[in-house]
Amino acid sequence: MRKAPTILHLDMDAFYASAEQASKPSLRGKAVVVGGLGPRGVVATASYEARVFGVHSAMPMAQARRLAPNAAYLVPRFGFYKAISEQVMGLLRELSPLVEPLSLDEAFVDLEAGGAAWDEGSARLVGAKLRADIRAGTGLTGSVGLAASKMLAKIASEQAKPDGLVVIEPGTERALLGPMSVRTLPGVGPATGDHLRRAGIHTVDEIVEAGEDELVRLLGKAHGHGLYAMALARDERAVVAERETKSVSVEDTYDVDIHDRVRVGLEVQRLADRCVRRLRGAGLSGRTIVLKVRRYDFSTLTRSETLRGPTDDPAVVREAALRLLEGVDSTGGVRLLGVGVSGLADFTQEDLFAQAAGEGVVHAVEEVAEDVSVERESVVERRWVAGHDVRHAEYGHGWVQGSGVGRVTVRFETPGSLPGRVRTFSVDDPGLEVAEPLPLVEGMGAHPHHP
């Protein structure tokens, strides 16, 4: 382990919710919850104002609504968040060639590799400047942790939240870790934590006291050795700039179980197309098509088919996914569907199949879909998504506060304006249209629209 705190961990503060507050003046300083809004939705991020009421990420949305009934509940705008993330990651890559993104809002940076820092003083200066640059460029805040290892840098950034900077000085790690919960250590999730608790081990100090042999007995050789080393603050993991992508997948959980077999087929096709768009966006192709089905009783089935060569052809992926669906019993209803591609490559092999038969299946499903009883009005309403951007011919840019029973409510404001006025329209008002997100900071650049 290195002798200076030159590994940096950045964690943006309540990223999705903070981005929404920065984008919407009327929500600044107020409780904001971002996530799936259906009965089975979960919280992706809650603003610090919402956390006061006990709302947190991964909580069922229904529970969040009970705890904070007056919060603003918004559907994520991932294209918007990704554009901000790319700007932040660009700032990190100016510091070092070794940047390891963990998600849109979190990354490790090896400051030594880029020559940006070599001791505690220089690391502190880099961390402070990074936070200032992020605020100036995006209007958002991030918390920075600096330490001699990845584990400790992440712990430091957690201590720095919100909007702070914490340095763990080499030599102080053991004293800092000792009284902390075992859940602080990487690799200790709920199951391992409960296993250790039943053995009377609650803190990191108690892991050390138990000894390596006892950890191996409790958790197995690899996990026991690794956890004991972490408890002693030994973490030699390097910052890795590129992580190999093993698969690309998309999935949807439905508010109401799907019983109609034709609708299930249509959803599988739609997911296959989304998966291929993501695959192509990464410049990849794949050989193995995977279908995931979670049924009404929460049982989950996974089926896969390996092609003769890699493809990024949406028709091929759709057909393979539909063939896999034929072997799945969906009686009783389906609550989740997913389509993925693995066995990735950076090239494609065309003409894998004579696709006429498969295309016939696709067209047949589309024709039968005309008989699926979906009210046209609900289809129109679905495009007015809570929190997403719209533009009105007369009133300008705004965002959807809500919609239902043929009406849509819009608040007209922009990131640089005062809190705006609310107006209500018919869902088919010809003057109202879906719009692209506006940049948070002037000069930041336009964000691509992702519906």
> Averaged over 359-363, what is the pLDDT?
33
What does the DSSP assignment read for 420-440? -EEEEEETT-TTEEE-PPPPS
pLDDT of 346: 61
Decide if pLDDT at 379 tops 80. no
Buried residues in 252-270 as b, exposed as e (16+ CB within 10 A) = eebeeebebebbbbbbbbe
Contact 13, 141 (CB under 8 A): yes
> Averaged over 277-291, what is the pLDDT?
86
pLDDT of 444: 52
pLDDT of 243: 63
- How far apart, in whole angstroms, are the C-alpha atoms of residue 152 and residue 150? 6
The conformation of residue 319, written as its DSSP 8-state character, comes to H
The conformation of residue 98, written as its DSSP 8-state character, comes to -
Q: Each residue of 418-450: pLDDT tens digit?
A: 999 999 999 999 999 999 999 998 655 444 333
Residue 106 a catalytic site member: yes
- How far apart, in whole angstroms, are the C-alpha atoms of residue 126 and residue 285? 39
Q: Map tokens 């919850």 to a residue.
A: 33
Cis peptide before 162 (omega within 30 of 0): yes
Give residue 23's pLDDT band: very low, low, confident or very high (50, 70, 90).
Answer: very high
Decide if pLDDT at 280 tops 90. no
Give residue 222's pLDDT band: very low, low, confident or very high (50, 70, 90).
Answer: confident
pLDDT of 416: 93
Percent of the chain with pLDDT over 70: 89
The lowest-confidence range among 109-118, 169-178, 218-227, 364-373 is 364-373
Q: Which carries the bigger pLDDT value, residue 369 or residue 49? A: 49
- How far apart, in whole angstroms, are the C-alpha atoms of residue 447 and residue 440? 10
Contact 451, 434 (CB under 8 A): yes
Write phi, then psi, for 315 (nearest 5 degrees): -65, -40
> Averaged over 370-378, what is the pLDDT?
30
Structure tokens given for 405? 């029973």
Find the helix or strand (DSSP H, E) in which 390 lies. Answer: strand 389-392
DSSP-derived pairing of the beta strands 43-46 and 396-404:
unpaired
Decide if pLDDT at 309 tops 70. yes
Side chain identity at residue 382, one-letter code: R
- How far apart, in whole angstroms, are the C-alpha atoms of residue 236 and residue 152? 11
pLDDT of 447: 40
- In 104-196, DSSP assigns E strands to 106-110, 142-147, 165-167
Decide if pLDDT at 248 tops 70. yes
Contact 260, 45 (CB under 8 A): no
> Averaged over 389-397, what is the pLDDT?
96
Mean pLDDT of the chain: 86
Paired residues of 142 in beta bridges: 12
Q: Each residue of 114-163: pLDDT tens digit?
A: 899 999 999 999 999 999 999 999 999 999 999 999 999 999 999 999 99
> Averaged over 323-333, what is the pLDDT?
90
pLDDT of 368: 28
Q: Per the residue annotation, which of 106, 112, 173, 319 is the catalytic one?
A: 106
Q: Which long-range contacts (CB under 8 A, 24 or more apart) does 44-47 make?
A: 44/16, 44/76, 45/14, 45/15, 45/16, 45/17, 46/14, 46/17, 46/71, 47/14, 47/17, 47/18, 47/21
Decide if pLDDT at 52 tops 70. yes
pLDDT of 344: 82
The lowest-confidence range among 95-109, 262-276, 348-362 is 348-362
